[in-house]
Structure 1
Amino acid sequence: MLLSGFNWIVVVLLIAMVLLSCFALVHAAFQREDAFRAADKQTKPFWLVILGLAVAVQIIPLGAFGFLLTLAGLIATIVYLVDVRPAVRGVSGGGGRGRGGRSSSDGPYGPYNGNR
């Protein structure tokens, strides 16, 4: 009984990893190619190949060695979402700061600069 509950948790985590990788792949596909260069990140085709391989490795069962490839794909996805995506969004005009492009130090009438 305990093992079936563990298997259910593993399946949910695998589905979440595939969805996260698919989201990153779709996001990378819809970004401008020059935004990657302007953000000083790898090129758009590089990220499309890496994220596409991450999705493929997570979907196709590859046995014991597949676990390492799945882990590598998850790491690549996290790097894209945490590092590349905010940089590309910032260059593309997406702001990347939240709340409509406003900083957390902005007041109601503009940025707070401490009377400097």
Structure 2
Amino acid sequence: MNDQDLARFRHLIEERLAALDEEDRLGRGGQSTVELDQQAVGRLSRQDALQSQAMAKATQARRDGMRHGLGLALERIAEGEFGYCEDCGEEIAEKRLALDPTARRCISCAS
């Protein structure tokens, strides 16, 4: 993989990290504490709020995992290991990396 390809992937990763930051900003309200006052919120409405809060927290955990994987991909770019399978050492297909820049294994080793 040449320097131009690596720069393109670095830019793609940085764009995805920025998108995750924006999603974090938008999702903060859904993770806030649910009001316990039964008179202010009915029982079913409170259950809906608790369920929404749980889904928001799960979504945040997914974003955190994606952010971690993208950070590791940037480290692999810096170390000159990006685009190579960590198991067999062969190049990972560029189309695979374009879909998932966090991929660390080629198709053969991943399956």
Same fold (TM over 0.5): no
TM-score by length of 2: 0.42
TM-score by length of 1: 0.41
- Between structure 1 and structure 2, the one with the greater Rg is 2
